Chain A
Amino acid sequence: MATIKKWEYSPAPESKEPAAIANRYELFINGKWVRPTSRNYFNSINPATEEKLSEIATANEADVNKAVQAARQAYDKYWKKLPAAERAKYIFRIARIMQERARELAVTETLDGGKPIRESRDFDIPTAANHFFYYAGWADKLNFAFPNKKVNSLGVVGQITPWNFPLLMAAWKIAPALATGNTVVLKPAETTSLTTIKLAEIIQEADLPPGVVNVITGAGQTGAWLTQHSNIDKIAFTGSTEVGRIIQRTLAGTHKKLTLELGGKGANIIFEDAPIDQAVEGVINGIFFNQGHVCCAGSRVYVQESIAKKFVQQLKNRINTLLVGDPMDKNTDIGAINSAQQLKTIQSYIKIGKAEGADFFESDCALPKKGFFCKPSVFTNVAQSNRIAQEEIFGPVLCILTFRTDEEVIEKANNSPYGLSAGIWTDKGARIFNISKQIRAGVIWANTYNLFDPTSPFGGYKESGFGREGGLQGLQPYVQFVKP
């Protein structure tokens, strides 16, 4: 099989200037930027260059208390009394300002998190803005959403977001919470706080009543104080299953409601009748989108034995053409790994996979000297019981397994504690409906992968968490049924 000709691309760098990142950021509590009680700040770095971008306040327990109190006051004083149609207009405003400041947000997201500018510009930021736009419209229509029920808001919700889609996850959390009439205290992941801080600026600019949204920055301990707070009515968390378990345990026996969006090990299934070029692209997109830092990544590929050889070769050829490097370059396919720690995790899994006896292939690309980078790679000859086939790697590392029959692949795909996503590639409609019904996962992409839309509910089965974000179903975690 001939290898694909490599194209030379001239650099096409995006400018850093639009990000306008300040030297220091404070906590956003009760509509104001306040210094942290601890007087402590942590550095936020650019994972592609390891250069410091800014320093960010660490919220301690006293700050968490202040933020929760501000949210409670805002709930009682303004937000729950505000007519729903007015609430909607505030949220529409947020969406509009996000659209206006889209370039600033995209550049910031890429500098802070390491994802390719093409992804933050074309996916993260517009989808985040659209999410606010979508939920804004629900605010005054909630009684249509739940047949035969009347709903009320819950009160104050605590939200914790991950580092892989910082602004988008903040939008997924804040937009439905506000639309349903709750007030918010949100803690972003410590390696990627900047776009959430800028979202707080936008919320301030939109003139929301003080305290309706509060953003407290810090590491895991700040999040722990938030989940332990007794004056909170609900926790929404997106992150690892390991931390999800701790939060579920923390909330046990309390009145607090909980939704969890956790890890995954998505099965991406390629049948012999699939359009192979498209399937190869789908597998590439499934695992290398956002450096594989995607909870629903198609990290386990099951390819039917009859086409496995051809498929794997074509996939390897394609991997060699991926452009790895400067996230700010508009041509880059794979940017920087989010943190030194995550790079270590990924490298340790590559070692594990080799030790387990799987065959390893990685792109022949060169990596930048500075920053955290990882070549896109594939393990073949993987066994179902291998750790690399069972555990979430959260990086640009794909595992390929094979199968013969439909029954076999259903069983293998479901043989995982996770159940977030799956892909099916086949030309047969009846097979799509059968396989997609049998697979225990919350999102099924048939002849496509890694698509998201504000109208489309997202969330997992089994140990991938519970509750849905997006769509009509995304309202329910933020409401309670009340007597009509």
Chain B
Amino acid sequence: MAKQSRLEVWKTYKNYVGGQFPRTESGRSYAVKNAMGKTIANACQSSRKDVRDGISAARSAWSGWNNRSGFNRGQILYRIAEMLEGRKKQLSDLLVSQGYTAAAANREINRSVDRLIYYAGWCDKYQSLFSTVNPVASAHYNFSVPESMGVVGMLAPANASLLGVVSLIAPCIAGGNTCLILADQEKPLAAISFAEVLHSADVPGGVVNILTGYQQELIDWISSHVDVNAVVCFDQEKADWQKIQENGAGHIKRTFQWNAKQMDTADGQSPYFIMDLQEVKTTWHPIQTIVSKGGAY
């Protein structure tokens, strides 16, 4: 009998919903394997009910998050970046266990941290850039400002298990939205570990909700839910993209397909991703006109 060494403590990977880490209500799990085909964790195989819980958590959190100042959201996004920087080792080990080379893992994490900081800076600036004062021909003051859409359903891309999730979350919450994200089915562990980063970074519970599970099982529930205002995914199979858009038609959802390849480049970040998830509100108000002999003021 070999000499006994200390037994390693394995981690249970769970969903992240409403600021807590519950297991799926369905009690189901599926095996997550490493590059060698060995099981390294059992992830939650989330159900329709989990999707509904996640969306309802996102809806509850939306009003508070939307009403935070851009400055405050920026502080929190920056804090997420700080927390991620501090957990590089954990995330890197995880990515390597899922088939990344050490160099690739390092690169992906650095890019993710930098992307968060990039969007942290946008939180109180995109509004100035994309607002207008409109010179209407009548005596009215008229202006248009971007506002968050509300709750966004998101499907994380394959093969960018951390950067993909960050590239979805950051522009979404920078703009005052809340979201439900389905992690990549094969490599969900980085997404769930990123939830721990969010949790420790003062992101209010429910602003970001992350589920693991089978995309084919959950795609319909996410894209057809009445309380989801927009759906974002990356290069989906044509049939899946069509399904998302068809489901979205039921409640006139906004649907976007972002380019996964682009995400790994400088073009993967832009205020236009924030603007994809914004509505434009235009407000009119009369201007007093007092006309006397000498003119008007």
Name the B residues within 8 Å of A471 (CB-CB): 132, 134, 144, 282
B252 CB to closest chain A CB (Å) equals 5
Name the B residues within 8 Å of A440 (CB-CB): 150
Number of A residues with CB within 8 Å of any CB on chain B: 46
B254 and chain A: residue at smallest CB distance? A466
Given contacts A252-B246, A455-B136, contact A448 B283 (CB under 8 A): no
Verify A248–B282 contact, CB threshold 8 A: no
Please measure, in the bound complex, the distance between the C-alpha atom of A459 and the C-alpha atom of B270, giving whole angstroms.
24
> 1/0 contact trace for A425-467 toward B, CB 8 Å?
0000000100011001111111110010101111101111110
Binding site of A, secondary structure by majority: helix, strand, loop or mixed? mixed
Verify A441–B285 contact, CB threshold 8 A: no
Name the B residues within 8 Å of A260 (CB-CB): 252
> 1/0 contact trace for B54-66 toward A, CB 8 Å?
0000000000000
Name the B residues within 8 Å of A457 (CB-CB): 132, 134, 144, 280, 282
Verify A442–B252 contact, CB threshold 8 A: no
Please measure, in the bound complex, the distance between the C-alpha atom of A251 and the C-alpha atom of B281, giving whole angstroms.
26
Q: Which one of A241, A437, A453, A456 lies within 8 Å of B252 (CB-CB)?
A: A241
- A268 interface residue (CB < 8 Å to B): no
Please measure, in the bound complex, the distance between the C-alpha atom of A216 and the C-alpha atom of B65, giving whole angstroms.
47
Verify A451–B134 contact, CB threshold 8 A: no
- A354 interface residue (CB < 8 Å to B): no
B244 and chain A: residue at smallest CB distance? A252
B269 CB to closest chain A CB (Å) equals 12
Please measure, in the bound complex, the distance between the C-alpha atom of A260 and the C-alpha atom of B136, giving whole angstroms.
24
Please measure, in the bound complex, the distance between the C-alpha atom of A432 and the C-alpha atom of B141, giving whole angstroms.
13
Please measure, in the bound complex, the distance between the C-alpha atom of A130 and the C-alpha atom of B138, giving whole angstroms.
13
Please measure, in the bound complex, the distance between the C-alpha atom of A455 and the C-alpha atom of B138, giving whole angstroms.
11
Name the B residues within 8 Å of A244 (CB-CB): 252
- A417 interface residue (CB < 8 Å to B): yes
Verify B138–A248 contact, CB threshold 8 A: no
> 1/0 contact trace for A251-268 toward B, CB 8 Å?
111000000101000000
Name the A residues within 8 Å of B282 (CB-CB): 442-444, 456-458, 471
Given contacts A244-B252, A461-B279, A473-B280, contact A455 B286 (CB under 8 A): no
Please measure, in the bound complex, the distance between the C-alpha atom of A318 and the C-alpha atom of B140, giving whole angstroms.
25
> 1/0 contact trace for B195-234 toward A, CB 8 Å?
0000000000000000000000000000000000100000
Number of B residues with CB within 8 Å of any CB on chain A: 38
A474 and chain B: residue at smallest CB distance? B280
- A369 interface residue (CB < 8 Å to B): no
Verify A446–B285 contact, CB threshold 8 A: yes
- B75 interface residue (CB < 8 Å to A): no
Name the A residues within 8 Å of B244 (CB-CB): 252
Name the A residues within 8 Å of B251 (CB-CB): 417, 462-463
Name the B residues within 8 Å of A241 (CB-CB): 252
Verify A462–B252 contact, CB threshold 8 A: yes
Name the A residues within 8 Å of B293 (CB-CB): none
Please measure, in the bound complex, the distance between the C-alpha atom of A462 and the C-alpha atom of B148, giving whole angstroms.
12
Given contacts A447-B285, A463-B252, contact A253 B134 (CB under 8 A): no
Please measure, in the bound complex, the distance between the C-alpha atom of A440 and the C-alpha atom of B62, giving whole angstroms.
13
- A367 interface residue (CB < 8 Å to B): no
Please measure, in the bound complex, the distance between the C-alpha atom of A464 and the C-alpha atom of B254, giving whole angstroms.
12
Given contacts A447-B285, A456-B284, A473-B280, contact A465 B252 (CB under 8 A): yes
Name the B residues within 8 Å of A251 (CB-CB): 245
Verify A446–B138 contact, CB threshold 8 A: no
Verify A252–B144 contact, CB threshold 8 A: no
Verify B144–A456 contact, CB threshold 8 A: yes
Verify A451–B284 contact, CB threshold 8 A: yes
B169 CB to closest chain A CB (Å) equals 22
Verify B284–A248 contact, CB threshold 8 A: no
Please measure, in the bound complex, the distance between the C-alpha atom of A147 and the C-alpha atom of B132, giving whole angstroms.
13
B241 and chain A: residue at smallest CB distance? A253
Q: Which one of A441, A445, A466 lies within 8 Å of B284 (CB-CB)?
A: A445
Given contacts A455-B134, A472-B132, contact A436 B229 (CB under 8 A): no
- A249 interface residue (CB < 8 Å to B): yes
- B135 interface residue (CB < 8 Å to A): yes
Please measure, in the bound complex, the distance between the C-alpha atom of A459 and the C-alpha atom of B147, giving whole angstroms.
13
- A404 interface residue (CB < 8 Å to B): no
- B142 interface residue (CB < 8 Å to A): yes
B239 and chain A: residue at smallest CB distance? A253
Please measure, in the bound complex, the distance between the C-alpha atom of A273 and the C-alpha atom of B192, giving whole angstroms.
52
Please measure, in the bound complex, the distance between the C-alpha atom of A467 and the C-alpha atom of B224, giving whole angstroms.
20
A108 CB to closest chain B CB (Å) equals 24
Residues of chain B touching chain A, judged by Cβ–Cβ distance below 8 Å, are 129, 132, 134-138, 140, 142, 144, 147, 149-150, 229, 238-239, 241-246, 248-252, 254, 270, 272, 279-286
Can you report 24 A-B residue pairs in the complex whose CB atoms are below 8 A from each other?
A: A244-B252, A245-B250, A249-B246, A252-B246, A252-B248, A253-B238, A253-B239, A253-B242, A417-B251, A444-B282, A444-B283, A444-B284, A445-B283, A446-B284, A451-B138, A453-B136, A453-B137, A453-B142, A455-B137, A463-B252, A465-B252, A466-B254, A471-B134, A473-B280
- Chain A to chain B: the 6 pairs with minimum beta-carbon distance, closest first: A253-B242, A252-B245, A248-B249, A453-B136, A249-B249, A252-B246
Residues of chain A touching chain B, judged by Cβ–Cβ distance below 8 Å, are 130, 147-149, 241, 244-246, 248-249, 251-253, 260, 262, 417, 432, 436-437, 440-448, 451, 453, 455-459, 461-466, 468, 471-473, 481
16 further interface pairs, Cβ-Cβ under 8 Å (given A252-B248, A440-B150): A148-B270, A149-B272, A246-B249, A248-B248, A252-B244, A252-B246, A252-B249, A253-B242, A253-B245, A260-B252, A443-B283, A444-B281, A453-B136, A457-B280, A464-B252, A473-B144
